[in-house]
Amino acid sequence: MSRTDAILKRLSQLHPRLIDLSLSRMLPLLEKLGNPQDRLPPVIHVAGTNAKGSTIAYLRAFLEASGNSVHVYNSPHLVRFNERIRLAGRFVSTPRLNRALEMVETANAGASITFFEVTTVTAFCLFAETPADYLLLETGMGGTYDTTNVVKQPLGTIITPVDFDHQGFLGSTITEIANSKAGILKRGARAVIGLQRPEGHKVLERAAQRLGVRPLFQGEDFHGSEEDGRLIYSDDQGLLDLPPPALLGPHQYDNATLAIAATRHFGLPVTEKSIAEGLRRVTWPARMQPIRHGVLRDALSPGHELWLDGGHNPHGAAALARTIAELDRAHPRPLVMIMGMMNNRDPGQFLASFTQFAPQVLALTIPGEENAHPAAHIVARAEALGLAARAERGIASAIKAAAKIDNARVLICGSLYLAGDVLAKNRTPPE
């Protein structure tokens, strides 16, 4: 076990038996450490159900193409914890990470605290001590009581599409979930809001009104669409004719549009040329990522495609299915889905978006995750939808089975935890 893993294991043992969405554990710890959350570069705070990471990836690409240095906080990581904390463009080094974790561990002095809380405090300490022009800050879950929601005055806030996820904590309706996400809105901070269901739109609009904030809403105040292979963006500042996003899928036009609107509305020092360059250069691992080399890819023939996506809820599944449909229109192939999922998700709801493709489902129990669905459960849910499915021992055996289907489009999906295991075993971790 590495030193980092040993520290993280000790911190995980401080986790309270029940998670209550609260900042009461975190605020005293931040106080002991000199309130680093008050000494950050200008913050852009991002909440929502899906597309948070992609939106941040676009913003980082735009800012860096303009010569700005950018901190980023994302979760979860795929292969190494360091991926969660990007300092001025680079993943935090292991020695710096270890020193910061141990400093926070000492200050916490064994008090009950969640893993995400204590590691977010660590990130704030690192961000505060490292110069950068901007910090792109992703919520973990929710908004009002999310661990990241201790920044008093962000430069701007973004709320991506709100849909069903984490209902056990955020509520069972879109109204309740949107109300939680709205908690990141701050008086005096500009806001940009992505495409929403009608009930979510109403909640976010009312929350903004109470704070005296006039947010820009996607589909009303700004628009973006694909036209002849280009991204056409428009708002009251004018029209932009841009290259298509490097990230694949029709939904990525929406995500890029949201990031462009935030760039313009927040007054970021980014030119149209830098936006175009950022769209060409943007990367975001395990989001419809083509796997073109590595140990697992080499087990398939050149005639196969191999894709990796960490989407895990119904909204993400619908977006992923639209991408598969787009690929099918250009080049039809049999679809093989290698799938693992955590037990707080419903495999049947996820797979329902793919029945039109009649995929072969190869189910896995995610390695090392005690809260993963057994492969047999995923098989049962797939068969209930009329899909052919079977359990596999692991990713290597699933790839071997997929290799027997000529010219298949192989999609590994269902969980970011599975995606991380795949990238590690393929020996292609995020860089």
Task: Give me the pLDDT at residue 50, please.
Answer: 87
pTM of the model: 0.93
Residue 327 parent element (H or E): helix 314-330
Q: Which fold has domain 289-425?
A: Protein-Tyrosine Phosphatase; Chain A (3.90.190)
- Pairing type for strands 216-217 and 335-339 reads unpaired
> Does the CA dihedral 102-104-106-109 come out positive or negative?
negative
pLDDT of residue 311: 87
pLDDT by residue, tens only, the chain of 431 residues: 799 999 999 999 988 866 677 788 999 999 999 999 999 999 999 999 889 999 999 999 999 999 999 999 999 999 999 999 999 999 999 999 999 999 999 999 999 999 999 999 999 999 999 999 999 999 988 788 899 999 999 999 999 999 876 555 566 699 989 999 999 999 999 999 999 999 999 999 999 999 999 999 999 999 999 999 999 999 999 999 999 999 998 999 999 999 999 999 999 999 999 999 999 999 999 999 999 999 999 999 999 999 999 988 888 899 999 999 999 999 999 999 999 999 988 999 999 999 999 999 999 999 999 999 999 999 999 999 999 999 999 999 999 999 999 999 999 999 999 999 999 999 999 98
pLDDT of res. 170: 64
For the domain bounded by 3-281, which CATH number is listed?
Answer: 3.40.1190.10
Where do the domains of the chain lie? 3-281, 289-425
| CA atoms of 379 and 279, how far apart (whole Å) | 38
User: What is the pLDDT at residue 291?
Assistant: 96
Determine the pLDDT at residue 142. 79
Give the model's pLDDT for residue 22.
74
Sign of CA dihedral 352, 255, 204, 48: positive
Residue 384 pairs with which residues in a beta bridge?
A: none
Give the C-alpha separation, 51 to 9, whole Å.
29
pLDDT at 266 (0 to 100): 98
